[in-house]
Structure 1
Amino acid sequence: MKLAGLETFVVAPPAPGWGGRYWIFTKLTTEDGIVGYGEVYASAVAPDVQVAVVRDVFERHMLGESPESIEKMFRRAYSSGFTQRPDPTVMGAFSGLEIACWDILGKARGRPVWALLGGKMNDRVRAYTYLYPLPHHDLTEFWFSPDQAAEAAVARVEEGYTAVKFDPAGPYTMRGGHQPAMSDISMSVAFCKAIREAVGDRADLLFGTHGQFNTAGAIRLGQALEPYSPLWYEEPIPPDNLLEFKAVADAVRIPIATGERMTTKAEFATVLRTGGAKILQPALGRAGGIWEMKKLAAIAEVFNAEMAPHLYAGPVEWAANIHLGASISNLLMCESIETKFHDDLIGGTIRVENGYITPPEAPGLGIDFNEDLARAHPYTGNELHLQMQEDPCNYQGGNTFAGGAPPIED
């Protein structure tokens, strides 16, 4: 059984576009015709350039190799070009290919991926959701309305969710960390207060940021949120200075979560060693794939740290998250995005029910990837999956941040 063919799909989800402007899926085929699907989560270059990187990684390091050779292929890609250091673009490409290899291996053996990772530790996986507008909400007003966010939180809790995430403090800019405006702190407090009063103790509050604050600013904001007891304070500072997370963790009485933009166990291990975070949020389509993050989960156990795989992508990465989560003992929860398009792309094979996800029993990732639907929604734009604004924080007029959701017109 050797890897023989690669096809990629760059898919644009229809409006409102929850999950990013586009998703990059991989399809690997073996010489004997077994097909596996994966997903790349990397957004630093245009999608056609990322697809070229995917093909180069495949042809250079994986073509003709057994899909069982996960460790060998990882070391080839990780070391490529005399690097042996985290590279989000190359490792993102490899991650999408690696996930597809696991899908193939499970199908070849007639077993779900979690069974190949040590078996099922968790019969169900706790899900959390970002707070998105309800159908009657105004798509512009929602991101700045604590009352509408609280209403959305109640709706999600009534569906069974026990944790909801929101991130009202903007902006996230290319300029690096900054001090939050007082208006950003006030709005963040108002969101926490309204949502906590609405859901009481029925759900955890997950306060998100996008690494937009400097260390002192992150501490100021975090301390203001402490009375509402969030379960986590997500990525409060940029990921380019991993040692500074400890300063925030020491000063704020909310667990620090981070990892959406980190790549390989090397970056995560730095945060664990220093005590900078106890909740790790890898994006499996960027961080090195399923096997690399299985290793990370084992390392995290030693530090009493928990895993909470991140999702701002498509449903194939989500499926990988679920299989990893099912197989580890230190799982906290997995992020989920519920849209009809997400559901249709994998044929409704994995779903959140009453706030939890039952890991699939079908072979491989357990999904029915709809290639026709993927091809019917090609991405034709020239923007990146997510983009950071160039303008600095506005300390006079306030800031706008539409929840990370790119504007998409019908």
Structure 2
Amino acid sequence: MKVTHCDTHIVATPAPHVGGMYWIFVSLKTDAGIDGVGEVYAATFHPEVMVKAIEDVFERFLKGQDPHHIERFFREAYSSGFTQRPDLTMMGIVSGLEMACWDIIGKAASKPVYELIGGKVNDKLRSYTYLYPKDKNGDYNYDNVELAVECALAEKERGFTALKFDPAGPYSAYSGHMISLEAMEKSATFCRRIREAVGNSCDLLFGTHGQMVPASAVRLAKHLEPFDPMWFEEPVPPGQSEAMARVAAKTSIPVATGERLTTKYEFHDVLKHNAASILQMNLGRVGGILEGKKIAGMAEAYYAQIAPHLYNGPVGAAASIQLAATLPNFLIQESIGTWDGFHAEVLEEKINWQDGYIIPSDKPGLGVELNMEAVKACSPYRGKTLHLSMDPRPYDVKRESGTEWKHIPEK
């Protein structure tokens, strides 16, 4: 069997753009008549650039090749241009093409991918959702603690046992910085009020999007410790594990990180420095399903757990679910609500979510098929904004209330 064609679909998400401004799907065709679908989570460049890059990688390293040969494809693409180092955009492209290959492999074997990478360990996957509080006008408001509490109670009633929020913004391109005392107190208030509302029925997951210097992260952690969050996410910018390790050593809250990292090499750096005990790789960026499996195995030896990150479309989610089903050190999977709305519309059959858990599909391959009518109706993306954006101004404590900042949450 040989891979013969690759099509890229840039799907514009409808307002309020939950899951990002657009999703990048890839479809592979083979000479055996078996097709596969994948998703690229790489937001460094505009989709018009990404389409050209995906075509280049496909033509160089995958066209005419057997889709079963995952290691060969990964190593040749990883070494492209004499680099042999983690490249976020290249690995995002590899991830999408690689998961499409696994979709083909599973369909050829008439088995779900999880049966081909170790077998299913978890029949259901505990999931968490980000809080999306709406005001009386139906607009999202992430700065109002009363709305956050209402939203938390609603998600608890739906069945979620873990809730994520990130009130410590705004998020500047000039991070890391020292956040204000006001921001620290606001963060503690969110944790206190939500903890009082949900009790011990829900874990609290506190996100920071790498905005702080280590000293500021340690100060904030002290404010949050009384409410026992399950994790303190990405307290410092990615890229220096030793800095994050200094934070982890000074707080009782487990540190989580990984959504902006790629390949086993960057995650090994996190583990060897004891920078985090919870790894959050995104399957559409990290290097694909096999690379994710290797990272999880490496983490297992460090007694670290896996909480896959997901702020993109449902194909990447399907790949993440297939991997998570096989992991003995799985902790929790990010869910975008209960996979309704546009995440359901672009699939022939939505992801199965029941009472707080994701149920892995037992269909061959990744277990999902694109609804091409819905995909084509929202293609191409004509905007200029990237998948996610940070504020272009330096952090200013007098603007930190959010009235002058455009708060664009990661998830």
Answer whether TM exceeds 0.5 for this pair: yes
Shift in Å, 1:32 = 1.6
Shift in Å, 1:52 = 1.1
Unaligned runs of 5+ in 1: none
1:381 corresponds to 2:380: no
Task: Flag the 1:115–1:136 CA change in 2: closer, same or farther, 3 A.
Answer: farther
Shift in Å, 1:80 = 0.7
Q: Which residue of 2 aligns with 1:404?
A: 408
Matched positions, count: 405
- In 1, distance between residues paired with 2:331 and 2:137? 30
Q: Contact 1:181 / 1:393 at 8 angstroms: preserved in 2?
A: no
Which residue identity does 2:21 align to in structure 1? R
- In 2, distance between residues paired with 1:48 and 1:339? 28
Task: Flag the 1:127–1:303 CA change in 2: closer, same or farther, 3 A.
Answer: same
Shift in Å, 1:363 = 0.6
1:318 corresponds to 2:317: yes
- In 2, distance between residues paired with 1:368 and 1:233? 35
- In 2, distance between residues paired with 1:31 and 1:75? 24
1:278 corresponds to 2:277: yes
Q: Which residue of 1 aligns with 2:92?
A: 92
Shift in Å, 1:135 = 7.6
Q: Give CA deviations for 1:311-347 in whole Å, capped at 9, x if unaligned.
A: 1100001001100000110000110113411012123
Equivalent positions of 1:330-369 (< 5 A) are 330-337=329-336, 338-369=339-370
Which residue identity does 1:75 align to in structure 2? R
Q: Find the residue that maps to 1:139 and give its secondary structure.
A: coil
Shift in Å, 1:403 = 5.9
Aligned Cα RMSD in Å?
1.4
Which residue identity does 1:39 align to in structure 2? E
Task: Flag the 1:200–1:382 CA change in 2: closer, same or farther, 3 A.
Answer: same
Q: Find the residue that maps to 2:142 and give its secondary structure.
A: helix
- In 2, distance between residues paired with 1:297 and 1:347? 30
Answer with 195-204 or 333-342: which moved more. 333-342
- In 2, distance between residues paired with 1:403 and 1:154? 23
Shift in Å, 1:134 = 4.6
Instruction: Provide the TM-score with structure 2 as the length reference.
Output: 0.96
Q: Find the residue that maps to 1:299 and give its secondary structure.
A: helix
Equivalent positions of 1:58-77 (< 5 A) are 58-77=58-77
- In 2, distance between residues paired with 1:301 and 1:166? 27
1:102 corresponds to 2:102: yes
Which residue identity does 2:75 align to in structure 1? R
Q: Contact 2:352 / 2:361 at 8 angstroms: preserved in 1?
A: no
Unaligned runs of 5+ in 2: none
Q: Contact 2:231 / 2:255 at 8 angstroms: preserved in 1?
A: yes
Q: Contact 2:173 / 2:391 at 8 angstroms: preserved in 1?
A: yes
Q: Which residue of 1 aligns with 2:224?
A: 225
Q: Find the residue that maps to 1:157 and give its secondary structure.
A: helix
Shift in Å, 1:102 = 0.5
Answer with 268-277 or 166-175: which moved more. 166-175
- In 1, distance between residues paired with 2:350 and 2:389? 31
- In 2, distance between residues paired with 1:107 and 1:404? 38
Q: Find the residue that maps to 1:384 and give its secondary structure.
A: coil
1:11 corresponds to 2:15: no
1:180 corresponds to 2:182: no
